Amino acid sequence: LPLKEKALIRRIAAQAAGRHAALLTGIGDDCAVLRLPPRHDALITTDFSLEGVHFRRDWHPAASVGHRCLARGLSDIAAMGGRPLAALLSLALPRQVPQAWVDAFFRGFLRLARQFGVALAGGDIAQSPSGVLADIVVLGAVPTRRALRRCGARPGDFIYVTGKLGRAVAALELLRSGRKLRPRAHPAHFFPVPRLEVGRALRERRLASAAIDISDGLSTDLSHICDESGVGAVLLADKIPHPAGVPLEFALHGGDDYELLFTATPRSRVPPAIAGVPIARIGEITAAPGLWLMSSNGRRSRLNSKGWEHF
Amino acid sequence: LPLKEKALIRRIAAQAAGRHAALLTGIGDDCAVLRLPPRHDALITTDFSLEGVHFRRDWHPAASVGHRCLARGLSDIAAMGGRPLAALLSLALPRQVPQAWVDAFFRGFLRLARQFGVALAGGDIAQSPSGVLADIVVLGAVPTRRALRRCGARPGDFIYVTGKLGRAVAALELLRSGRKLRPRAHPAHFFPVPRLEVGRALRERRLASAAIDISDGLSTDLSHICDESGVGAVLLADKIPHPAGVPLEFALHGGDDYELLFTATPRSRVPPAIAGVPIARIGEITAAPGLWLMSSNGRRSRLNSKGWEHF
């Protein structure tokens, strides 16, 4: 295996080659060495993509698995208002995975990396006891003390969300029902684009009091903001943006949307769109803890924060 | 699962609590936020610890698994001459793992973290499709342009190694033969200590021309230095430090020793010990590529770089 690993690492290094100002030492040493811009803090995040938990090889083409793996990490950087610099990838492969699958995985991964100027700076390759196991690490930078946090929401703040919700889970439900999907027809599920420009604009214009990305589902991620900020929230059911044909339940609880959820004081002038991405005002932060959903006729009901079940 | 995850994350956060100057935002946000010291570069490394590949739950107590998981990352920081600041941990657990196992894992992990002032700054928790899956991320810092690299070895440089080799694999072979081992009697295998002080001293005193940690085995890791430096090497068989009773083969090819292997010009005054750890001169870098082993009677033989097989 070590020799096979060596060949694989060379192959990856060749595919990942390219100039990145921040990257001093990349693949081929004990650590990656990176230079952060002056007066910036480091952001780091790590997320699993496990076969059978986060993806299925019979549902997701390899390029989609690679893309989504990196998107998970980039989305966390977006939620902090940061700029991604480099990614490291730990990848464990079962013996029987064909080289073509691995190549397509890296094609999807590196296409997204190039789109946002992210270097693949290192990682780990291992043999997997069962299924493809990936863990993404992304290092980013944010001007000192300017990172968007989960803990800054205050009573009276408005709640906003980017884009439309529920599409990723809508595609997942189709897959579950046995449908074959053309990945390019369901980009929100197979090739989600992390909202890096929006996160950066929120930070630069100091618009957001708190922010998070919607990876576990709106209700769960809103509960994270509320828990960390010591507040509650009311959502307006008819303001939650979801495409025609996607049920409200999907928009409320579906995960993997990789949109941004943020709060802002009523004085903040939040525009209707940032970087071409629509922004919707969907509710308000309350002093009393708990999540509520208000229907168009004014009736309130408890909003349970339940993440969508994985596969 | 989300609720169980939340409870587990709270539990981990409580155990990991403590003040760390570099850590601005830890567990409980989308990213960890860290402040690097001025005029330092960032070091990042990531390494899998997979059940059945890197450890076995019937052989390794949970505290040892947690300790070794972090030691793998810290050892990479040591090899670059860096100082570790923070660790992130991705941990996937099968449903049937008892809470006591998880607690003991974190006891072992956090004991080593405290020993070297490393903050547990975040990570990911998931359900595992099969076995305990861990991926460690360590962020470190090193003064700008001073990181120890693999690529600096030059013909005529001497080759050095810290400590004694082969003990980790010697214990592994006993486990394989069905023996039960008391972990505290085999610390090199169950609780290896990364050579952070040695790495730092090598960098501060500018002693090393190249460095790597011995995780894959001396012969394999030496081949990494030679490949990256475009050189070859001759090792002196009777200079390889290994305890009485541990065969030379184990010292040459056994992995998981977490000692440092480094090269230095003949002019460098490499002391016989650094921070209480003995340093042995074991060979010389050659212009001609290839690895050779010279026995005490002067006979040369090819040294194949073969890593020890995993479990």
pLDDT for position B57: 96
DSSP track, A90-121:
EEEE-TT--HHHHHHHHHHHHHHHHHTT-EEE
> Does B260 contact chain A (CB < 8 Å)?
no
Which residues are registered as beta bridge partners of A88? A122, A137
Q: Which of A34, A121, A150 sits opposite B29 (nearest CB)?
A: A150
> Does B32 contact chain A (CB < 8 Å)?
yes
Question: Which DSSP symbol is given to A310?
Answer: -
Per-residue pLDDT reduced to its tens digit, A177-204: 999 999 999 999 999 999 999 999 999 9
Instruction: Determine contact, residues A279/A271, Cβ cutoff 8 Å.
Output: yes
> For residue B274, what are the CA distances in angstroms to B150, B195, B198, B207?
20, 10, 6, 11
> For residue B33, what are the CA distances in angstroms to A65, A77, B139, B251?
27, 10, 11, 40
Res B81 pLDDT > 90: yes
Q: Give the residue, A12 or A58, on which the prediction is more confident.
A: A58
pLDDT for position A309: 56
Local confidence band at A1 (pLDDT 50, 70, 90 cut-offs): very low
- A265 vs chain B: nearest CA distance in angstroms? 20
Res B243 pLDDT > 70: yes
CA B234 from centre of chain: 24
Question: Could you give the count of Cα atoms lying within 13 Å of A194 in the half-sphere of its Cβ?
Answer: 30
Q: Which residues of A touch B220 (CB under 8 A)?
A: 2
Quote the pTM value.
0.95
- DSSP H/E element including A236: strand A232-236
Per-residue pLDDT reduced to its tens digit, B144-164: 999 999 999 999 999 999 999
Nearest to A132 by CA among A115, A110, A114, A109: A109
Mean pLDDT of the B100-126 span: 95
Nearest to A4 by CA among A131, A134, A126: A126
Nearest to A76 by CA among A201, A172, A213, A182: A213
Per-residue pLDDT reduced to its tens digit, A106-141: 999 999 999 999 999 999 999 999 999 999 999 999
Where helices occur in chain B by DSSP H, the ranges are 2-16, 62-79, 99-115, 167-176, 187-190, 196-204, 218-229, 248-253
Distance CA A166, CA A256 (A): 9
Q: What are phi and psi of B240, to 5 degrees?
A: -70, 120
Local confidence band at A5 (pLDDT 50, 70, 90 cut-offs): confident
Res A2 pLDDT > 60: no
Per-residue pLDDT reduced to its tens digit, A65-89: 999 999 999 999 999 999 999 999 9
Q: Which residues of B touch A260 (CB under 8 A)?
A: none
Residue with tokens 């349970």: A304
Query: Which 3-state string (H, E, C) describes B13-61?
Result: HHHHCCCCCCEEECCCCCCEEECCCCCEEEEEEEEEEEECCCECCCCCC
pLDDT for position A123: 93
Res B309 pLDDT > 60: no
Res B1 pLDDT > 50: no
Mean pLDDT of the B271-281 span: 98
Local confidence band at A14 (pLDDT 50, 70, 90 cut-offs): confident
To the nearest whole percent, how much of chain A has pLDDT over 70? Answer: 97
CA B56 from centre of chain: 18
Contact B44 A43 (CB under 8 A): no
Res B38 pLDDT > 90: yes
> Does B90 contact chain A (CB < 8 Å)?
yes
Q: Which of B86, B126, B140 sits opposite A48 (nearest CB)?
A: B126
Res A48 pLDDT > 50: yes
Per-residue pLDDT reduced to its tens digit, A250-303: 999 998 999 999 999 999 999 999 999 999 999 999 999 999 999 999 999 999
Nearest chain A residue to B47 by CA distance is A124
Distance CA A58, CA A54 (A): 12
Contact A47 B212 (CB under 8 A): no
Q: Which residues of B touch A94 (CB under 8 A)?
A: none
Q: How far apart are the first and last CA of chain B?
A: 31
> Does A135 contact chain B (CB < 8 Å)?
yes
